[in-house]
Amino acid sequence: MTDIVLSIVMLAALALVAGAFFLWRRTGEVKNPALMVLLAVIAVINVLIWTVPTQSGSAPIEQIKATGEG
């Protein structure tokens, strides 16, 4: 289940970046596209926090799966 959630978050981040680009090209506005890109960056960082292994070699997502909650 957690794999699906992380995949959806990554797809949403990609959609945010694409939408920000098209909004910027269409309207010339900077504030809203910049905020969309910022949200996408935050989402990607959040996924990386869950999936990148720590110094001990295990990722937080693996710990959740090992307990049977995810």
Q: What domain count does the chain have?
A: 1
Q: Domain containing 54: what range?
A: 2-67
Question: pTM for this one?
Answer: 0.84
Structure tokens at 8: 């959806």
pLDDT per residue as tens digits for the range 7-48: 999 999 999 999 999 999 999 999 999 999 999 999 999 999
Give the residue from 2, 1, 4, 8 showing the smallest Cα distance to 43: 8
How far apart (Å, rounded) are the C-alpha atoms in residues 60 and 54?
8
C-beta separation of 26 from 12 below 8 A:
no
Segments in 1-70 forming alpha helices (H): 2-27, 31-51, 60-67
